[in-house]
Amino acid sequence: MSTPFTGLTAVIPALNECVTIGEVVSRAATVADRVIVVDDGSRDGTGEVAHAAGAHVIRHDAPRGYDCAIAEGLNAAFHLGAVAAVTLDADGQHRIEDVSRIAEPVMRGDVQFCGGVRDVYNRPIEALLGLIAGPLYGTRDPFCGLKCYHRQLFEQCGPFPTAMHVGTLPFAWIRRHRLPFRFLPIHVQRRADQPRFGSMVRASLKLAGAFLRTLRADLFYASSSRSA
């Protein structure tokens, strides 16, 4: 069995994931010494299953959205003293060996951020936006849910806003402050549930909007730096 990284917290946003959340929490606990599940208004007992598996559960009475859930989880992790926080999906897509690989360079202090690059995309829009993200941010997979953040990033740029741009806003922070980062390839397993963003069209619009907001924030930071 793996030994958890001391000071690493796993953050798992979840909405109606009772079938998979218990096993995901148990596996995450082999890498992280604390697991936080943000139960975003589930109606199937997801929070109860996560708590029984050993997670600290933050409960929303009604869904507030993925951005809010993941931001709340990250902020809670660092307020509780985490050295680093790694985010992963509740549906079992992320292998625990990949969670460990993404967390390792951050926990060593080599970088302040490390993100996964999936071998398979869930939607065509992700591949298209990846063509833009590549030269800008160094990754062709900005929407991978497996990411690890060092406490220094939180202290320098945080807290994470609840309109977090589906996890892409930190790319603008990294560029603004020229922080060390890394992206590593990961293998994703088949989803055990339905996509959290709904239909293909709805999900594509949400992801495109999130990426555009990140670009806008990046341009704002760039203009602020020039005028300073």
Domains and CATH numbers, the chain: 5-227 (3.90.550.10)
DSSP H/E element including 204? helix 200-227
Query: What pLDDT shows up at residue 194?
Result: 54
Residues of the chain with pLDDT under 50: 197, 228
Locate 203 and state its tokens: 């999900």
**Could you tell me if 168 and 216 are in contact, meaning their C-beta atoms sit under 8 angstroms apart?**
no
d(CA 152, CA 173): 12
Query: What pLDDT shows up at residue 176?
Result: 87
Burial class (CB in 10 A: 0-12, 13-18, 19+), 228: exposed
Query: What pLDDT shows up at residue 2?
Result: 60
Residue 59 bridge partners (DSSP): 39
Query: What pLDDT shows up at residue 164?
Result: 64
Query: What pLDDT shows up at residue 122?
Result: 75
Query: What pLDDT shows up at residue 30?
Result: 97
CA 154 to chain centre: 14
Which ranges in 88-181 belong to alpha helices (H)? 96-107, 124-137, 151-157, 169-177
3-state secondary structure of 190: coil
**Could you tell me if 93 and 189 are in contact, meaning their C-beta atoms sit under 8 angstroms apart?**
yes
